[in-house]
Chain A
């Protein structure tokens, strides 16, 4: 199975900050990488697919990059509604696997 490792596991940031989360795959996955946002008690929301393509309706403050084994999710200017847990997921091969999540908290 492909292991996905996110860093950091949690971070504290202020409104307006630029935030970057990294995700590393244990082997190359091309660009078969998605990012999801989950708020407490809610279902996940799809943000990005194919490493850098925004899902429909997702604001452009979210961006993704990377290929192979190293990926990043960037939030350009953190807003109150962005405080949540973010997960990366590879879909290059079965089983699809997730990172452990990065919790973005208010500083």
Chain B
């Protein structure tokens, strides 16, 4: 059974950093791209970024709203995808979801982790 579990969320002050983890199980992690999405309270879904599998270079893509501040990485030996978030802003407050990507589209979602940016 495919499982994705996000962790690392919490309350953080504006300008500070936070790293989210997405621990995967039930599939060969290294064979898949992974993506991060977010959802601000009461709002719709927003794509954050994407990391390709090592077979496709392990390269990344980002939304303009986070480019230069957020970094997605992966540790295939641990089956974990990371979202490093720097220079956080109040508008980054959201539930963050990771997804497995198959054929360039998300198929499985984690349960999400809440990030609150507030002083």
Contact residues of A with B, CB < 8 Å? Answer: 32, 34, 36, 38, 42-46, 49-50, 55-56, 87, 89, 91, 94-101
Contacts and interface: CB of A to CB of B under 8 A. Distances in A.
Interface of B: 35, 37, 44-47, 50, 61, 63-64, 97, 103-112
A43 B109 contact: yes
Contacts, number: 54
Contact of A49 (B63, B64, B103, B108): B103
B107 A56 contact: yes
The 8 tightest CB contacts between A and B, nearest first, are: A96-B47, A49-B105, A43-B109, A98-B45, A95-B63, A94-B61, A34-B105, A101-B44
Contacts of A38: 45
B45 A46 contact: no
A96 B112 CA distance: 19
A55 B2 CA distance: 13
